[in-house]
């Protein structure tokens, strides 16, 4: 069983920055992806960014178009930790951000949250205008 613990989040004015982190405990597959989804009130959960590791290769990031260029995901595979640096935040980025992990992801489906096996509790990010 894998447990995900998130930290970071909070309140910031538009244009500001926040950093989220998430650490997984428990055994993961050698091929796994770990990252972030978010859900705003009244909206469906949506993909933000994930980092995928496969075998001994370095991590590869995947981003939603809405955050690419503003958010940066990084990770430490040895520590089973990912970070999400969020810059140039907008009010529309306001949401609960969830860390998620999937073992043996299919690349074509890596943005589909319903396929992820493990989820964190979520952390609130609020961006004021």
Look over the chain and give the mean of its residue pLDDT values, rounded to a whole number: 95
pLDDT given for residue 84 in this prediction? 98
| Model confidence pLDDT, tens digit, residues 32-54 | 999 999 999 999 999 999 999 98
Q: How confident is the model at residue 55 (pLDDT cuts 50, 70, 90)?
A: confident
At 51, list the tokens. Answer: 């980092």
Helix then strand then coil, % of the chain, to nearest 5: 10, 55, 35
DSSP 3-state of 48 = strand
DSSP 8-state symbol, 72: E
Bigger pLDDT: 61 vs 30: 61
* C-alpha closest to that of 24 among 13, 36, 37, 34: 34
**pLDDT above 90 coverage of the chain, percent:** 90
- Report the largest interatomic distance among the alpha carbons of the chain, rounded to a whole angstrom: 43
Q: Residue 57: is its pLDDT beyond 80?
A: no
- CA nearest to 33, candidates 20, 46, 41, 24: 24
The average pLDDT across 42-67 equals 93
- Check residue 104 and give its pLDDT: 93
Cα 88–Cα 49–Cα 83 angle in degrees, nearest 5: 75
pLDDT at residue 5, as a whole number = 95
Contact between 20 and 123 under an 8 Å Cβ cutoff? The reply is yes
Q: Would you state the pLDDT for residue 56?
A: 75
The confidence score (pLDDT) of residue 58 equals 82
């Amino acid at each position: 069983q894998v447990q995900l613990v998130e930290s970071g989040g909070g309140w910031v004015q538009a244009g500001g920055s926040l950093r989220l982190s998430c650490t997984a405990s428990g055994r993961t597959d050698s091929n796994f992806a770990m990252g972030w989804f978010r859900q705003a009130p009244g909206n469906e959960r949506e993909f933000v960014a994930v980092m995928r590791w496969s075998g001994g290769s370095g991590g590869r990031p995947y981003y939603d178009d809405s955050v690419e260029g503003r958010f940066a995901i990084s990770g430490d595979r040895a520590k089973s930790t990912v970070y999400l640096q969020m810059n140039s935040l907008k009010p529309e980025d306001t949401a609960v951000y969830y860390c998620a992990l999937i073992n043996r992801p299919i690349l074509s489906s890596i943005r589909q949250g319903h396929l992820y096996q493990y989820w964190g509790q979520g952390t609130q990010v609020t961006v004021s205008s």
